[in-house]
A = this chain, B = another copy of it.
Amino acid sequence: MSHPEPAPTLPCAPEAVRRVACIGAGVIGGGWAAHYLARGYDVTAWDPAPDAGPRLRRLVEAAWPALTRLGVAPDASQDRLTVTETLEEAVTQAQFIQESAPERLELKRELLARIDEAAPSGVVISSSTSGYPMTDMQTDCADPGRLVVGHPFNPPYLIPLVEVVGGTATREDVVEWTGRFYEAAGKSVITMRREVPGFIANRLQEALWREALHMVAEGEATVREIDDSITEGPGLRWATMGPMLTFALAGGEGGMAHMLDHFGPSLKSPWTRLEAPELDKKLYDAVVAGCDEEAEGRTIAELVAQRDQGVIDILRATGRLPRFPEGGVAK
């Protein structure tokens, strides 16, 4: 589906945005509002729930001490939040619109069409959807070209990642503008070139989540054991180094190639209910080359030292330095 009208102009540079509208003020929409306020934006918010205003203010208030400790923009203030009576009021002055409605396709479709109708011409409308492709959500919009996905992680005021991806009808300049906007708003952006349901991180955590549910269903592990196995195990690494490069270091001085030679056969093991892809030469080469590229010339020894420092920093920061019964101390 391609856009029939001449492309409307974007109203301002992404770095010049000062007024953001948040449509939907639950956990995610409210978290976005807290984030934008902390970054010094004016925020207008609307949510159809009768208690949306007080609930949103409570959420922002609860997050504010943490945000202040983390650092807020010089002119940031909770007073710059306006909760409006109608959707139209919320978007009429907005230079960027973040939609965070419940995860139901029909609802998203209708709501995005309403936002599109009410919003100033050219203003980008970004959806927080956890997994719907924009192609399926922008169908009822008069100007689908300005609709894009900007998928955050909970809480949006702390977790940097936003996945940006357009639908078939989304304009290329809108995708590019949105990535720059989120960067300016302090987020860490991955712009996807292809629409995949669940995007990247949700596909990865959904795989983990489904296996966890299988384990609970089969009585193989408790909820707490699942959580402890991550926070005391791989989770400590993943806050400082991703799963691919982490696994490359399991290969010792041989890196990812050696790791795949050694653990490749495990892809045939029943270690999860997830079917593995065939580890053919093409995939093998892509994974090894991808790790080399990500390493940017760092040797395995340098990567190990960097991972170790990261994990130590995290252990120290989260109060998990080793304890010694006989009185050893950290230096």
Q: Contact residues of A with B, CB < 8 Å?
A: 15, 26-28, 39-40, 62-63, 66, 68-74, 76, 102-103, 130-131, 153-155, 158-161, 163, 184, 186, 188, 190, 192, 194, 196-198, 200-217, 219-247, 249-252, 262-263, 266-267, 269-277, 279, 282-283, 286-287, 289-291, 293-294, 301, 304-305, 307-318, 320-331
Subset of 7 A-B contacts with CB under 8 Å: A27-B250, A70-B330, A192-B225, A198-B270, A216-B286, A227-B241, A314-B318
Interface contact B271-A272, CB-CB below 8 Å: no
Complex Cα spacing A66 to B307, Å = 10
The answer to whether B40 and A233 touch across the interface, beta carbons within 8 angstroms, is no
- For the A-B complex with A71-B324, A161-B233 known, give 9 more contacts whose Cβ atoms are closer than 8 Å: A62-B301, A70-B315, A71-B328, A72-B328, A74-B328, A190-B229, A206-B274, A208-B243, A224-B290
Contact yes or no, B232 A188, CB < 8 A:
yes
A293/B224 contact (C-beta < 8 A), A131-B269, A328-B73 known: yes
By a CB distance below 8 angstroms, the chain B residues around A276 are 210, 213
| Copies in the assembly, this chain | 2
Taking a contact as CB atoms closer than 8 A, the residue among B246, B252, B289 that contacts A26 in the complex is: B252
A157 to chain B minimum Cβ distance, whole angstroms, is 8
| CB–CB B205/A234 < 8 A | yes
Find chain B residues with CB under 8 A from A315 CB: 70, 158
The chain B residue sitting closest to A35, CB to CB, is: B322
Taking CB atoms, residues of chain B closer than 8 Å to A227 are: 241-245, 294
Residues of B near A158 (CB, < 8 A) are 236, 308, 311-312, 315
Q: A226-B242, A322-B70 are in contact. Are A155 and B308 (CB under 8 A)?
A: yes
